[in-house]
């Protein structure tokens, strides 16, 4: 143990600094959010289908973020979802349309027995003219 400590000190790093660095790196990974996929189906003059993906950051019972369109790569889909058990309430807006957003309600489901490679989560939201489905399949460490 003393030899390892000596090597770290030679590199100019104390054990305390290494621990602080590790905690900062872990915190930034946790705040980065986890990758979700979105499909939006909107009924207007015609049916419009959009696909997006990107990280949603979770803070308590709230998931939020801006997802990128899969077709053109623009960050255009802002969503904030409040989870309450199996229920979900959301505000969704198209950033490029500069609107105030629309409210949707629906359900939240998570696999009862996640594994190292599969921990499916799904959120199904809708209102009178729009359906949004979000899914996350891969577990993150």
Listed by start position, the domains of the chain span 1-32, 33-136
Per residue in 26-61, pLDDT tens? 333 344 578 999 999 999 899 999 999 999 999 999
**Confidence (pLDDT) at 52:** 96
Q: What is the DSSP letter of 140?
A: -
On whether the CB atoms of residues 66 and 86 are closer than 8 A, the answer is no
First vs last C-alpha separation in the chain: 28
Q: Say whether pLDDT at 68 is over 70.
A: yes
Average pLDDT for residues 101-120, to the nearest whole number? 85
For 131-139, what is the mean pLDDT? Answer: 87
CATH pick for 33-136 out of 1.10.1740, 1.10.287, 3.40.50, 2.40.128:
2.40.128
Please report, rounded to a whole number, the percentage of residues in the chain having pLDDT higher than 90. 54
Which of 1-5, 6-10, 114-118, 119-123 has maximum average pLDDT? 119-123
Cβ neighbours of residue 32 under 8 Å, at least 6 residues apart?
55, 57
- Both structure tokens of 91: 């505000």
pLDDT at 34: 87
């Amino acid at each position: 143990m003393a030899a390892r400590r000596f090597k770290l000190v030679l590199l100019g790093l104390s054990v305390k600094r290494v621990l602080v660095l590790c905690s900062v790196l872990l915190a930034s990974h946790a705040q980065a959010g986890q990758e979700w996929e979105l499909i939006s189906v909107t009924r207007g003059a015609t049916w419009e289908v959009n696909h997006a993906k990107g990280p949603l950051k979770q803070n308590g019972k709230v998931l939020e973020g801006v997802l990128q369109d899969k077709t053109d790569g623009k960050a255009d889909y802002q969503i904030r979802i409040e989870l309450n058990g199996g229920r979900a309430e959301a505000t969704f807006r198209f950033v490029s349309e500069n609107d105030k957003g629309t409210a949707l309600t629906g359900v939240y489901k998570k696999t009862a027995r996640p594994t190292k490679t599969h921990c499916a989560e799904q959120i199904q939201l809708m209102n009178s003219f729009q359906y949004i489905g979000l899914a996350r399949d891969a577990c993150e460490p």
